Amino acid sequence: MSLAGYEIEVERTPGTGLSTEEMTLNMGPQHPSTHGVLRFVVKADGEVMIEAIPDVGYLHRSIEKIAEKVGYHGFMPYTDRVDYVAAMFCNHGWGMVCEKLAGIDVPKRGEYCRVIADEFNRIASHLLSVGTMTLDIGATTPFFHAIREREKINDLLEELCGARLTYNYMRIGGVAWDLPPGYAEKCLAFLDQYEPLIDEYNDLITGNKIYVERVADVAVISAEDAINYNLVGPNLRASGVDFDLRRDMPYSVYPELEFEVPVGRGEEGTVGDCFDRYIVRIREIKESIRILRQCFKQIPDGPVIAKVPRKFKPPAGDAHIRIESARGDMGWYAVSDGTEFPYRCHVRTGSFTAMSIIDKISRGLMLADLVAVIASLDIVAPEVDR
């Protein structure tokens, strides 16, 4: 029997004596440093990566479908779970989209309460983000210091709404609880105590040469790439694009507040590297503290919630709002068909699109850098999969 036609061509790299093969590694759903259940299939040539393909869907809970069953009011606690690290923004987004559907105005004090809750949550979320980034790079102490401060913020928010992570603080038309008596003093005391600790954190890790060498010039995302791949929030601003929804497409009471928007300047490397994404978050914490102080000074008296019927039936139509969450531009889209259950609800989150750029920027990086990259993009799994 002849083997004609059955020969198999074996590719051998010409010229070299030994042939090398690339390794396919699985940074599986259970891994100490992918932030949540994320999976990456990594093809690596020794230490250098050739491809890093993300595999999402391990945390999918059909939240958007659940909205169609529980109704507008009942969906508010579910929005907490869309991004449980920064839940106030999700509450705020859902509240805003329902108010836009029905044409409801939130009273001024309610808006201020919303912004206060939002900015505290932004500080907490950024603390977790920078903390876990330093933990992934190898320094264990800054993580605990960041978590300690986050615990203090959680104590404040627990006093405000009764829960520490899934707040369910806001309702359609405003917020559910007014600020308790003595709250402003407690919050301002916390802010006074916390502000010097940011400088201490910078002394500990941000300026550390080993840390800077690990993150500077790693995974540079140019401004053009950032816009093309739809990055938002601190990721976008770190690449040099000066865009912040709170200032450029303002909502709520942000027009009355004065704050700056930190943009990546490439101080330790190039504009758009991991260090820029990290330092933009640290600077945003400082700006949030500034916003909070103004809020507590300017908050007026009055009701905090508008009159909204128990059976909420907005007119048929759709509405789309954008809110500047801790992870960037979070878009909420709801379609109503006139009944008290939404016809469709969709969330557009910043982490989902950030996953798409990981393959592009990780070509040529080392395995250790992949961890830094995922952490610097501040990807949280619940936002990716919903």
Partner 1 sequence: MQSFLDSLIAQGYFAGVPTEVVYAGGMVVFGLIVVLGFILNVAGVTTFVERRVWARIHSRVGPNRVGPQGILQWLVDGIKLLMKEDIVPAEADPRLFRLAPYVVVMGFVTTFVVIPFSSALVIADMNVGVLYLTAVTALVVVGILMAGWASNNKWSLIGGIRSAAQIVSYEIPAGLSIFPIVLITGTLSFQSIIQQQGWAPHTWFVFHSPFTFVAFFILFTSALAEGNRTPFDLPEAESELVAGFVTEYSGARYLFFFLVEWGNLYVIGALVSALFLGGWQVPPVTDNLVVLNVLQFVTFFVKSYFWVLVSMWIRATLPRVRVDQLMTTCWKYLVPISFINLIGQAALMVALPHGSRLLQAAMTLLGAAILAYFFYRVVFHLRRARPELTFSPLS
Partner 2 sequence: MRKRTYVGNIVSTAATIFDGLAVTFSHFVRKPFTVQYPDRTEVRVQDTLPFRYRGILEVDLEICTGCLACERACPIDCIVIDSKKDPQTKAMVLTRFDIDLAKCMYCGLCSEPCPTGSIHHTPEFEGADYSLESLVRRFVKEPVIAYKPKKGPEDDPQIKPLLDRGLRYVEEFAQPEGATPAAADESA
Which does residue 137 touch among partner 2, partner 1, none (CB within 5 to 8 A, set by kind)? partner 1
Residue span 143-162 as binding mask against partner 2, x where in contact by CB under 8 A, dash where not: -----x--x------xxxxx
CB 382 within 8 A of CB 78: no
166 SS3 class: coil
A 10 A CB-CB count for 174 gives 24
Which does residue 33 touch among partner 2, partner 1, none (CB within 5 to 8 A, set by kind)? partner 1
Q: Closest separation between CB of residue 173 and partner 2, Å?
A: 7
Stretch that binds partner 1, among 23-31, 53-61, 227-235, 276-284 (CB under 8 A): 23-31
Q: Closest separation between CB of residue 55 and partner 2, Å?
A: 29
Q: What is the DSSP letter of 277?
A: H
Residue span 313-332 as binding mask against partner 2, x where in contact by CB under 8 A, dash where not: x-------------------
d(CA 146, CA 336): 41
Say whether residue 119 binds partner 1 (CB under 8 A): no
299 SS3 class: coil
Say whether residue 184 binds partner 2 (CB under 8 A): no
What's the chain's length in residues? 386
d(CA 40, CA 153): 33
Please choose, from the candidates 174, 282, 204, the residue with its C-alpha nearest in 3D space to the C-alpha of residue 237: 282
Q: Measured from the CB atom, is 57 or 144 closer to partner 1?
A: 144
Q: Measured from the CB atom, is 56 or 82 closer to partner 2?
A: 82
Stretch that binds partner 1, among 259-267, 270-278, 325-333, 368-376 (CB under 8 A): 368-376
170 SS3 class: strand
- For the four alpha carbons of 363, 53, 348 and 133, in that order, the dihedral sign comes to negative
Find the binder of partner 1 among 50, 184, 188, 197 (CB under 8 A). 197
Residue span 122-161 as binding mask against partner 1, x where in contact by CB under 8 A, dash where not: ------------xxxxxxxx--xx--x-------------
Instruction: Return the C-alpha torsion angle 350, 205, 195, 182, nearest 10.
Output: 70
Q: Which DSSP string corresponds to 37-60?
A: S-EEEEEEETTEEEEEEEE--TT-
Q: Measured from the CB atom, is 41 or 163 closer to partner 2?
A: 163
Please choose, from the candidates 77, 31, 93, 69, the residue with its C-alpha nearest in 3D space to the C-alpha of residue 349: 93
Residue span 27-56 as binding mask against partner 1, x where in contact by CB under 8 A, dash where not: ----xxx-------------x---------
Which does residue 250 touch among partner 1, partner 2, none (CB within 5 to 8 A, set by kind)? none
Which does residue 199 touch among partner 1, partner 2, none (CB within 5 to 8 A, set by kind)? partner 1
Bridge partners (DSSP) of residue 335 are 318, 344
